[in-house]
Copies of this chain bind each other. A is one copy, B any other.
């Protein structure tokens, strides 16, 4: 009986994610979204409810796609090698809307307003850190990382390094590749 929507919901979320990722939360207006998604206000609100609700869907997609990509990398190259390859990958992707991490951008923008989306971003950063820890643990099990290292500490520092790299890569004239290489090299000495 009902009429079907004439759009691909997941594709809309991906496009919204790219817009939010690049421009941030306050920097992305509904006009921007309507223009990018080719939706009138009525359709937009029928489909997503609010700007914040769509932002949350975008965050979720960002996080789960990222986690899947890292898992695939670990599957192909092994845990430590995946962690070594990741830094250069994240700053080398020319299709990405920004070098910086969408989660950290969201956290920095909205944390001070106690905005629920800041908490969501924080939670996803925590999940990401747990994934790193898992990979360090597996690397340790197969002897790629010394036994006296703590996977959780390594994950915490690794994520911090990655966030710093991705902020630096947002700047002009910074040789981010050599920072990425430094991070990868550090992992080789574990």
Contacts and interface: CB of A to CB of B under 8 A. Distances in A.
A186 to B, nearest CB: 8
15 contacts: A22-B112, A27-B113, A97-B112, A104-B108, A108-B167, A109-B109, A111-B170, A153-B178, A156-B175, A156-B178, A160-B161, A160-B165, A160-B167, A161-B161, A163-B167
A171 interface: yes
A168 B179 contact: no
Interface in A164-190: 164-165, 167-168, 170-175, 178-179, 182
A26 interface: yes
Given A23-B113, A108-B108, A112-B27, A164 B160 contact: yes
Interface in A18-49: 22-24, 26-27
Nearest to A125: B171
Interface residues of A, number: 40
Nearest to A121: B171
Interface in A69-125: 97-98, 100, 104-105, 107-109, 111-113, 122, 125
A170 B24 contact: no
A156 to B, nearest CB: 6
